[in-house]
Copies of this chain bind each other. A is one copy, B any other.
Amino acid sequence: MGEFRILEIKQSVFADNDRRADEVRKELKEKKVFLLNLMSSPGSGKTTTLTRTIEHLQEELRIGVMEADIDSDVDAQTISAMGVKAIQLHTGGMCHLDADMTAQGLDGLETGDIDLAILENVGNLVCPAEFDTGAVKNAMILSVPEGDDKPLKYPLMFSICDVVLINKIDVLPYFDFDMEKCKKNILMRNPNAKIIPISARTGEGIEEWAKWLRDEVKEWQK
């Protein structure tokens, strides 16, 4: 069992979130800590994807996870049980994390011995997209049951993400989901997005995702 605790996040007092985010990133660079901001709708499989990712990377990278949730601590407990450092951030009803709230989480996580810090943001495709958390890269998960039209409806989220994981591809046969149409919709919002179809349940595609993340961490730590 890894470390595990709950941190109550305070409302941010910084007016200029973008500047605070740049400060956070600068500090991460100095400490050689890579921060990934992972976003998605509720129920798209963030926590399951995270456990798969940890399985693939925990031998070579020291990982710490911040689970942002309005209430409950089930996710941090799940992650902690895998033997990595985990902290539950209670946002007190807030629908997103900004840079200073993320900095509070990083302090709580004590990142001195961490290579890769992952922020599991609040399950929401709207508000988290509007706030730079200070992360080095943004990733999001879109799951097959949500539909291939989501990039049309949540434009900002798709435009700010460096990677889009298309999760639950094991249930593709049971849904009207057009993978090519979905990719086209994503690339319309962000031509540079890396798109990786995965199934967190079966493990399909996780190797490619883990490789991308590993390479990014190594690049950041140079």
| A127 & B95 in contact (Cβ 8 Å cutoff) | yes
Interface residues on A, range: 20 to 34
The smallest C-beta distance from A197 to any residue of chain B, in angstroms, reads 16
Docked pose: A221 CA to B74 CA in angstroms: 44
A154-B95 contact given A43-B145, A145-B168, A171-B175, CB 8 Å threshold: no
Q: Which chain A residues (90-148) contact chain B, with CB distance < 8 Å?
A: 93, 95, 122-127, 130, 143, 145-147
Query: Is the CB of A149 closer than 8 A to any CB of chain B?
Result: yes
Which of A69, A122, A146, A175 gathers the greatest number of chain B CB atoms within 10 Å? A146
| B72 & A152 in contact (Cβ 8 Å cutoff) | yes
Query: Is the CB of A55 closer than 8 A to any CB of chain B?
Result: no
Query: Is the CB of A83 closer than 8 A to any CB of chain B?
Result: no
The smallest C-beta distance from A202 to any residue of chain B, in angstroms, reads 12
Per-residue B-contact encoding for A158-182, CB less than 8 Å = 1, 0 else: 0000000000100100110000000
The residue on B at minimum CB distance from A95 is B126
Query: Is the CB of A150 closer than 8 A to any CB of chain B?
Result: yes
By a CB distance below 8 angstroms, the chain B residues around A146 are 41-44, 145
A residues near B (Cβ < 8 Å) are 41-44, 69-72, 74, 93, 95, 122-127, 130, 143, 145-147, 149-150, 152-156, 168, 171, 174-175
Q: What 16 additional pairs, Cβ within 8 angstroms, besides A69-B153, A95-B127? A: A41-B41, A42-B150, A43-B143, A43-B147, A43-B150, A44-B146, A70-B155, A71-B155, A93-B126, A95-B95, A123-B125, A123-B126, A126-B127, A145-B168, A171-B171, A171-B174
Closest 8 CB pairs of A and B: A43-B146, A145-B145, A95-B126, A41-B42, A43-B147, A41-B41, A72-B152, A95-B127
